[in-house]
């Protein structure tokens, strides 16, 4: 059934393409959210918050298409696993969008004050850059099924974890002079970036598994 | 095809039963994790941490069975949606188990000191009780598709959110005398219970949607 198979493959490719587009949207959201938190920029924060709904709808649309493909094409084995995996990836990427949204909400809540004391600006900036870099990579991994890059993302996640540890160390290793509220917000910010990165790793592992049939 | 239909229904029921068993395991984990955090009980904390792997394997097993049913029965429409929904519920419930694990890890990290100052014991205790109550209810909702109870869980989640606000207020409204590390741990604890509850709400909404064909 070369024709049927080809229609199915086209549909699968179209789902992957949408997942890549979703990563781009989420990457922009996290980049903007980081700008908002570093610059106490209310306008950008509001933009990220308003766009979260669109990310949710985008995911909902992708999921409906995946379920529709399963219902019409009745795939089995590898093809079914690829579609179930796509469902899980869309959930991971949407969740990454939620974390961008959470970061932006802290920026909005703290406004007009900032959320990040001067000595931690570099750390949060690095976490934001790492988040964007990781998201761009999972876009490439989904599009090309590049397993080498999928493995690279594990290293990027280690870097994010190290930045997260630096952040917590800055809170506890010296006397803290910025008050409890700032400490609470930084604790949450650290967790948001770290979890964002975990979901990216989850996506890259799913692609790795689809390609290799086993986990790295 | 009454025979085929009935085999399919049996398989679907068996998946629901496993999801209910998973909620029971997770509920026990969260109950123990709360005991561990309130009593600085290292032994119980270690037990919860060790059992998390079992919860992950349990979920993995349920998911494999769901995918196998989709492949063999090739369901469409409502039946396919019920199975995709079961996949998402298993992910939600497994994630709830992760939060029990996270709570236990804070108990272990703080040991032999406690993580919860005396004035916040009642709040954390209430969050733990609310978590267990909510988990028991989602077990019933999955087993019986009781949409009234599904709606009740929204109210339980509101209660959890109120407890979370109380916890944060206790941190910021008065001078804080327990140090930054305790504040960080309480911030994370509060978030773990709150997120745990959110995932329970997500499960109850999925059941509601399956029964009613629309969101509440």
Residues of B in contact with A178 (CB under 8 A): none
For residue B112, whether the previous peptide bond is cis, meaning omega lies within 30 degrees of 0, is: yes
Predicted local confidence at residue A2, as pLDDT: 55
- Residue B61: what pLDDT? 98
Q: What is this structure's pTM?
A: 0.96
Cβ–Cβ contact B173 with A under 8 A: no
Report ipTM (2 d.p.).
0.94
Q: Identify the three-state secondary structure at position A145.
A: coil
What is the number of structural domains in chain A? Answer: 1
Range of the domain at A175: 2-212
Please indicate if any CB of chain A lies within 8 Å of the CB of B181: yes
- Interchain pair A184, B172: CB under 8 A: yes
pLDDT band at residue B6 under the 50/70/90 scheme: confident
pLDDT of residue A89: 98
| Beta strand segments in chain B, E | none
Distances (CA, A) of A1 to A79, A173, B4: 15, 65, 27
Per-residue pLDDT for B5 more than 90? no
Binned at pLDDT 50, 70 and 90, residue B88 comes out as: very high
Minimum CA–CA partner of B92 in chain A: A91
Q: Which residues of A143-171 are buried (b: 16+ CB within 10 A; e: fewer)?
A: eeebbebbebbeebbebbeebbebbbebb
3-state class (DSSP) for residue A216: coil
| CATH number of the domain encompassing residue A153 | 1.20.58.220
Contact: B183, A188; criterion CB under 8 Å: no
Region A156-167 average pLDDT: 98
DSSP class per residue in B93-137: HHHHHHHHHHHHHHHHHHTTS-SS-GGGHHHHHHHHHHHHHHHHH
Q: Please report where in the chains the tokens 């492949």 appear, as a residue.
A: B71
Sorted by sequence, the CB contacts under 8 Å of residue A69 that are 6+ apart come out as A8, A11, A12, A15, A75, A83
Across A180-189, average pLDDT = 97
* A180/B180 CB distance under 8 A: yes
The answer, yes or no, to whether residue A5 has pLDDT greater than 70, is: no
Q: pLDDT category, A172, cuts 50, 70, 90?
A: very high
pLDDT tens-place string over residues B104-139? 999 999 999 999 999 999 999 999 999 999 999 999
Q: At what angle do helices B179-212 and A147-172 cross, to 10 degrees?
A: 130
Alpha-carbon Rg of chain B, whole angstroms? 19
Using pLDDT thresholds of 50, 70 and 90, give the confidence band for residue B2.
low
* Distances, alpha carbon A159 to alpha carbons A34, A165, B156, in Å: 17, 10, 38
CA-based end-to-end distance of chain B: 33
pLDDT at B154: 97
Tens digits of residue pLDDT in B26-82: 999 999 999 999 999 999 999 999 999 999 999 999 999 999 999 999 999 999 999
The confidence score (pLDDT) of residue A216 equals: 85
Cβ-contact B113, B42 below 8 angstroms: no
Report CB contact under 8 Å: B183, A180.
yes
Q: Give residues with Cβ within 8 angstroms of B152, minimum separation 6.
A: B137
Residues of A within 8 A of B67 (CB-CB) are 80-81, 84
Residues A61-103 have pLDDT tens digits of 999 999 999 999 999 999 999 999 999 999 999 999 999 999 9
A184 touches B at CB < 8 Å: yes
């Amino acid at each position: 059934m070369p024709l049927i198979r080809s229609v199915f493959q086209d549909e699968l490719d179209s789902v992957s393409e949408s997942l890549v587009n979703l990563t781009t949207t989420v990457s922009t959201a996290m980049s903007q959210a980081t700008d908002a938190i570093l610059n106490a920029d209310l306008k950008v924060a509001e933009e990220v918050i308003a766009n979260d709904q669109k990310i949710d709808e985008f995911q909902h649309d992708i999921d409906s298409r995946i379920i529709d493909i399963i219902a019409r094409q009745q795939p089995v084995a590898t093809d079914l696993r690829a579609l179930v995996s796509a469902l899980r990836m869309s959930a991971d990427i949407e969740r990454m969008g939620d974390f961008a949204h959470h970061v932006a909400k802290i920026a909005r809540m703290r406004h007009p004050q900032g959320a990040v004391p001067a000595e931690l600006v570099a750390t949060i900036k690095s976490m934001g850059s790492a988040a964007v870099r990781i998201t761009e990579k999972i876009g490439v991994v989904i599009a090309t099924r590049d397993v080498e890059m999928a493995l690279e993302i594990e290293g990027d996640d280690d870097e994010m974890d190290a930045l997260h540890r630096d952040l917590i160390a800055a809170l506890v290793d010296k006397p803290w002079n910025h008050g409890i509220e700032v400490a609470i917000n930084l604790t949450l910010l650290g967790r948001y970036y770290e979890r964002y990165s975990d979901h990216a790793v989850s996506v890259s592992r799913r692609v790795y598994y689809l390609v290799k049939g086993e986990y790295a």
